[in-house]
Chain A
Amino acid sequence: MVTKNNAEVVVIGTGVVGVLIAEQLLDAGISVLMLEAGPRVSRAEIVENFRNAPLGLKGDTSVSYPPAPWAPHPTGPTGGAHDYLQLSGPDSYAQTYIRYAGGSTWHWAGTSWRLTPEDMRLKSLYGVGRDWAFDYDTLDPFYTRAEYKLGICGPSNPEQQWPRRARLKPYPMPPLPFSPGETRFTQIVKELGYNNIPVSQARNSGMPYDDRPACCANNNCVPVCPVGAKYDAATALGRLEAKGAKILADAVVYKVETNGQNRIEAVHYLDPNKQSHRVAGKLFVIAANGLETPKLLLMSKDDRNPNGIANRSDQVGRNMMDHPQLTLTVTTKEPFWSGVGPVVNSGIMETSQGAFRSEHAGAYFRYNNFARNRFVTFAALKKGLVGKALDEEIRRMTACTADIVAAHEILPHPDNRLTLSDKTDWLGLPKPSIHYDVGDYVRRSAEVYSLPIGKKIAAAMGATDVKISPKFAQSKHIMGGTIMGADAMNSVVDTDCRSHDHDNLFLPGGGAMASTACGNSTITMAALALRSADAIVSQMKGAH
């Protein structure tokens, strides 16, 4: 039934969202063809790319993932595609993501905070942003399924869970142990009245899960887990093929074709030889991430859809969101020691909630648990020390520095907008252009809320020096560009992530999120994917 030109359902994108949906469809007996713009690269190669990279570049996640010429993704200065995103506005939407088979979960940390019920009702409760088109209880069972699909570890003690609300099922695995620094940090913030709780994360804790091994604390979740103890979508590709999926890598979809009923008839892709191919299907899922999906929709405008596919509302590419973050690099007198265990392992979530949200954003604080040698070695060497003094200085700086990150929520704003640049990429396709302003809601939080809390924490840690990042950095949590809503004139997709304009087109993932909250977006994207998958299965079964 599935060929390289046809399947019942065509899925564009092989990241976590595409992979989760594809497996649900395959399990329901529906044929699936997956189109991936980028190459299919072995874990072995990615691991060695990291190790072969100069020490000065090891903090750049894209260095392990050189983009293919035909599937550029944003890179650091030496990665060959640093100008892929055309950026404008007061703040920089300089995201990174990966166009490889398996998508950007290759280099995610695995952090899987759920939204809270309040996070989904910002307009009703605080008069800002948008409400979701459904409530938390609707999403809850899909969160649970997503947690079991990905293999999420987390605490069983309700006091340590987020949100603080009865779970439908326990986490499939217990939490991971803290590093010495995390333990100390937790004690310190407790005295300030904050609870630093174990992060629920997609990492095998103390046991294998889904035929992937347990975490061995190699502290390399970002940029790549060498052993697959962290869930990434690449680990599912072989299983999907065993279940009958066809996966075409190096297939850059550049056009979505509609028919007379304004349903989707086919998609067209370019191969690395710049040859075009047409792929037909009954139903289409575009899960190419929150930036490439709106780009493709805008690129595909036709006579019936002059603003682009699925864009009767003119909301495609608007409301681009992320979690703007500020980092406090703290130097302490006493050693903390980061780098034991996974790179992100705990966080303070309660600071994301409160009545203040009518005035400014909430923030989530985390103690980064990266081993710090890569950040301090050059600075220690620059001091001109030798012998014992040099050894001691590197050891001191590794143990006695720490990064505290404040990640903020942001409100959807139509002017934070992705459009098509007149600059083109290797294939001649338009590069994405993004205008971005984090807005007063976020800036006010930094001023009166998050940075004051951060400084208070730093002081309690015994900081002798605190360096605060001068501007907001990106969290690489791309949200909002195909926003969900009940009103077809003001949103792109319905509550199943189905396009309001085309009933056989689904646009699931971060683009649909109507609010960001402060926690990482992937587990919500995964829950939305499973919800979409159910809707697709029933739609396909009804169609027969």
Chain B
Amino acid sequence: MSLINKLRAALAAAAMVTVAVPAVAQQFPDSVVERGRYLATASDCTACHTNTGGKPMAGGHVISSPVGGIVATNITPSKSFGIGTYTETQFADAVRKGVLPDGTHLFPAMPYTAYAVMTDEDIHALYAYFMQAVTPVDEALTAKTDLPFPLNIRLSMFGWNLLFANAKPFVADPARSAEWNRGRYLVEGAAHCGTCHTPRGIFMQEKTDQPLAGAQVGPWFAPNITKDKTAGIGSWSHDELVTYLKTGRLVGKAQAAGSMGEAITHSFTHMTDADLSAMATYVLDLPASPAGAVAGGTRFDQGKAGNELAGFRGEGFAKGMKGPKEGAQIYSANCASCHGYNAQGTTDAYYPSLFSNSATGGPNAANLVATILFGVDRETGHGHVFMPPFGGQPNAVTSLTNAEVASLSNYVLKTYGNSTLTVTPAEVQTIRIGGPQSDLLLMARVGMGAGAAVALIAALVLLVYGLRRRRPAAPAPTGV
């Protein structure tokens, strides 16, 4: 580096420091800041805006999507690289309308359609928190959002917003209890449950007539969480739902992984019991949907204990891997140490049984396959739950091929889960690369004339929400 260049670098660094020093910061009361901190947690801002191993809210996390990487931005109060120059109104427009001060439209990977219900008071608290309690990070992002044409036309979001982004700040329903209203406010707003759990229409908009009825989101399936007794979670008590949100686990029924595991880890487990109770009250009051019902009961009571060990024990591994017992052999060798040779789990139920388990008993096999490939990583006050991934990650203890995962899944489904389902190696590959791929990009390029098509493409971005923290081991096709 020449002397001139060194000088330049030093000057630039000095300039950055100067810029970074905030003007006399507006002093918000601690109570408001803390309320904002809580809302930021409830909204799970960190899930996207804090990169793995990175500084809080400094962005840089690449949200993989079937069509390209979207980079979460720096939302620290840095005046040069973050949101330090935003007025409260500009902040509110970004959060609730997806519009930046310069008029740029955000992609709806940012769930502004949900955050739109936030009250002015809560937006104020969030603003106070970000401006006053988040440490400014004066660093440029190394990665840039780079979507292919026409997905890179942010203006296309304008039309989509006209059609679908019509939520207004929350107004309480006086006919309902305060708890119900609080629950609705959180579920539709900060917690943005519908982003994953509500199925989407042809324009990828949430189907408002089928709230929380279940949808595929990337490699994971966000199941029906309506109050339907068989297809939904109507068989759960209110307290059980609160327990699930607090711990990510309901013994003998279900456990959170994937995006839900992250939502539990970063957000729900830190919320107050009162708020979790309010959310449960509202969710369990939504209309029942029969979508995704499984035969002969609920997704929580499929399958039973048992084993096929007598088919290969003592005969040698190679022999066990040939023929009809292959799935049982793979199960024994890779899964049974924790889940038990009868899939009964441990006696303390820490390692769950695989029967009576929504991961194996659901209406499709996506969550079973995704769990095998990506594992489980969930941290709450109740400990760090970690099932290792088997999906070929560089640091994976063991990696299974698509054929092996299919064979294993079919054994588990037949014996312990929804026995009407089967899985092919090609379907495993689909989950491995991040879930069902879309040909919307092609459709969009063909049908560029139609504004609706553009809206369609942009809306596709919504799909990626559930992919937001997926580990880079299963890269999106465009390579993020």
Contact = CB atoms under 8 A, between A and B. Distances in A.
Given a CB threshold of 8 Å, the question of whether A touches B is answered with yes
A330 B389 CA distance: 42
A216 interface: yes
Interface in A327-370: none
A52 B388 CA distance: 25
A539 interface: no
B386 interface: yes
Interface in A95-118: none
Contacts of A214: 384, 386
B388 A238 contact: no
A210 interface: yes
Interface in A41-96: 42-45, 47-49, 51-52, 54
Given A48-B329, A218-B337, A226-B337, A43 B398 contact: yes
Contact of A42 (B320, B332, B398): B398
Given A51-B332, A208-B384, A227 B395 contact: no
Given A47-B333, A48-B317, A52-B313, A213 B395 contact: no
B51 interface: no
Contacts of B386: 207-208, 213-214
B396 A238 contact: yes
Interface residues of B, number: 29
A212 B351 CA distance: 16
Nearest to A210: B395
Interface in B379-426: 383-384, 386-389, 393-399
A54 B389 CA distance: 31
B397 A227 contact: yes
A212 B388 contact: yes
Given A211-B393, A216-B351, A227-B338, A45 B388 contact: no
A166 interface: no
B272 interface: no
Nearest to B389: A211
Interface in B301-317: 313-317
Among A49, A228, A238, which residue has the most Cβ atoms of chain B within 10 A?
Answer: A238
A49 B317 contact: yes
Contacts of B389: 211
A47 B329 CA distance: 11
A11 B325 CA distance: 39
B338 A207 contact: no
Contact of B337 (A216, A241, A243): A216
A395 B331 CA distance: 30
Contacts of A54: 314
Interface in B326-374: 329-330, 332-334, 337-338, 346, 351
A242 B394 contact: yes
Contacts of B387: 213
Interface string A190-209: 00000000000000001110
Contacts of A218: 337
Contacts of A475: none
Nearest to A234: B397
Contacts of A44: 317, 330, 333-334, 398
A51 B307 CA distance: 15
Contacts of B399: 238
Given A42-B398, A43-B334, A54-B314, 13 more contacts: A43-B397, A47-B337, A48-B317, A48-B320, A48-B329, A51-B313, A52-B314, A52-B317, A208-B386, A211-B388, A213-B387, A226-B337, A227-B338
Q: Which 7 A-B pairs have the closest CB atoms?
A: A242-B394, A44-B333, A228-B397, A226-B337, A208-B386, A211-B395, A48-B317
25 contacts: A42-B333, A42-B398, A43-B398, A44-B317, A44-B334, A48-B317, A48-B332, A48-B333, A49-B317, A52-B314, A52-B316, A54-B314, A211-B389, A211-B397, A212-B388, A213-B387, A214-B384, A214-B386, A216-B337, A216-B351, A226-B337, A227-B388, A228-B397, A238-B399, A241-B394
